[in-house]
């Protein structure tokens, strides 16, 4: 029967889909473990770097403007959004939620008469923003972290940001990415990079020890000149790692759901297939019996 054949084809195709999604889930799970430990291993550096810049900032004499990377260039007109997403899809709401957050941010800024520039890290973010905000996108980075996230990749992105800042292309830089909370929960996060804002609790109310006068070797300016670009790279690196771990977590959850749905669908289809088959047999039997009776 044509109907039976259709069902058989359907079942085979759902089965192979299930195989693919469950393989993707497994791959994501193993990548997640690695990405998660990488993200955790990078935390001490980022935290200490943050603290060091914080104490340097607190250490600056009153009324002295630090380097532009630290305290900004005094303007607040052009905003740069660095949006970190993934290159590949099939990871649930991972990219959409980061993009939604970015769109909201951009609209807020545009509504208050600011200008916006966007730097995309990851192809999916660009694809989703292209139609509405295409004119703001400066550039897109693709293929980062293909062989595990490297610090050198973060340096490259951070270097680009620094150059743009020095050329006066923007005044304030904000990083938008998915922070890794757990395998099933990723939080879209905004983090202001330039001017410097401590990622942790506000520094102003910190204990007085934080304000202890540090001796500087060779000098405030020279240390800050080296430390600030590093700090930028570290923040980007941390965001990249968090985003990468989040991506794997999101993909794992999405693929787990897809596998389960495929399983449900398979059960329903198999049931229908068997019912149809039995109905056919019964029908044929009736035909034979009524044929025999007619004789």
Element housing 179 (H / E): strand 172-182
CA distance 103 to 98: 9
The span of 24-32, 96-104, 221-229, 278-286 binding another protein (CB under 8 A) equals: 221-229
- What phi and psi, each to the nearest 5 degrees, are found at residue 48? -70, -35
230 lies in the binding site for another protein (CB under 8 A): yes
Q: How far is the CB of 40 from another protein (least distance, A)?
A: 9
The span of 93-101, 104-112, 212-220, 266-274 binding another protein (CB under 8 A) equals: 212-220
Token pair 């192809």 is found at: 123
Q: How far is the CB of 155 from another protein (least distance, A)?
A: 9
45 lies in the binding site for another protein (CB under 8 A): yes
69 lies in the binding site for another protein (CB under 8 A): no
218 lies in the binding site for another protein (CB under 8 A): yes
184 lies in the binding site for another protein (CB under 8 A): no
200 lies in the binding site for another protein (CB under 8 A): no
How crowded is the C-beta side of 93, counted as CA atoms within 13 Å? 8
216 lies in the binding site for another protein (CB under 8 A): yes
For the chain, state the CA radius of gyration: 28
Closest CA to 13 of 201, 196, 262, 219: 262
Token pair 């771990």 is found at: 245
Please say which residue, 169 or 226, places its beta carbon nearer to another protein. Answer: 226
41 lies in the binding site for another protein (CB under 8 A): yes
Closest CA to 256 of 188, 187, 184: 184
1 lies in the binding site for another protein (CB under 8 A): no
Write the burial class of residue 272 (CB in 10 Å: 0-12 exposed, 13-18 middle, 19+ buried): middle
226 lies in the binding site for another protein (CB under 8 A): yes
- What phi and psi, each to the nearest 5 degrees, are found at residue 13? -70, -40
Task: Classify residue 213 by its DSSP letter.
Answer: P
The span of 134-142, 167-175, 223-231, 279-287 binding another protein (CB under 8 A) equals: 223-231
Total chain residues near another protein (CB under 8 A): 29
Binding mask 132-161 for another protein (x = CB under 8 A): -------------------x--x-------
Strands 78-84 and 115-121 come out as parallel
**112 contact partners, CB below 8 Å, separation of at least 6:** none
281 lies in the binding site for another protein (CB under 8 A): no
Please say which residue, 88 or 214, places its beta carbon nearer to another protein. Answer: 214
- What phi and psi, each to the nearest 5 degrees, are found at residue 169? -80, -20
162 lies in the binding site for another protein (CB under 8 A): no
Closest CA to 256 of 16, 53, 18: 18
Looking at the DSSP bridge assignments, the partners of residue 174 are 81, 192
Task: List the one residue from 110, 223, 265, 269 that touches another protein (CB under 8 A).
Answer: 223
Residues labelled catalytic: 91
55 lies in the binding site for another protein (CB under 8 A): yes
Please say which residue, 54 or 188, places its beta carbon nearer to another protein. Answer: 54
Give the binding site for another protein (CB under 8 A): 38, 41-42, 44-45, 48-49, 51-52, 55-56, 151, 154, 209, 212-218, 222-223, 226-227, 230, 233-234, 237
């Amino acid at each position: 029967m044509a109907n039976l054949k259709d069902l058989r084809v359907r079942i085979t195709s759902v089965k192979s889909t299930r195989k693919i999604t469950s393989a993707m889930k497994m791959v994501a799970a193993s990548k997640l473990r690695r990405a998660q430990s990488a993200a955790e291993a990078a935390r001490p550096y980022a935290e200490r770097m943050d603290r060091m810049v914080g104490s340097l900032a607190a250490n600056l004499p009153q009324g002295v403007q630090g380097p532009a990377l630290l305290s900004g260039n005094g303007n607040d007109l052009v905003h740069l959004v660095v949006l970190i997403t993934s290159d590949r899809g099939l990871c649930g709401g991972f990219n959409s939620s980061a993009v939604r957050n970015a769109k909201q941010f951009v609209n807020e800024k545009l509504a208050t008469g600011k200008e916006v520039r966007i730097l995309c890290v990851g192809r999916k973010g660009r694809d989703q923003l292209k139609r509405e905000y295409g004119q703001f996108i400066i550039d897109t980075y693709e293929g980062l972290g293909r062989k595990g996230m490297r610090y050198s990749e973060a340096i490259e992105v951070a270097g680009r940001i620094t150059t743009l800042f020095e050329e006066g292309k923007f005044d304030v830089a904000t990083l938008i990415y998915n922070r890794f909370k757990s395998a099933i929960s990723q939080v879209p996060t905004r983090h202001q990079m330039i001017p410097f804002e401590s990622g942790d609790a506000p520094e102003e109310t910190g204990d007085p020890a934080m304000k202890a006068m540090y001796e500087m070797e060779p000098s405030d300016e020279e240390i800050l000149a080296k430390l600030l670009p590093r700090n930028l790279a570290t923040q980007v690196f941390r965001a990249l790692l968090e985003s990468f771990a989040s991506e794997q977590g999101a993909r794992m959850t999405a693929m787990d759901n897809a596998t389960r749905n495929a399983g449900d669908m398979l059960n329903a289809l198999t049931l229908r297939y068997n019912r149809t088959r039995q109905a056919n047999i019964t029908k044929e039997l009736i035909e034979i019996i009524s044929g025999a009776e007619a004789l």
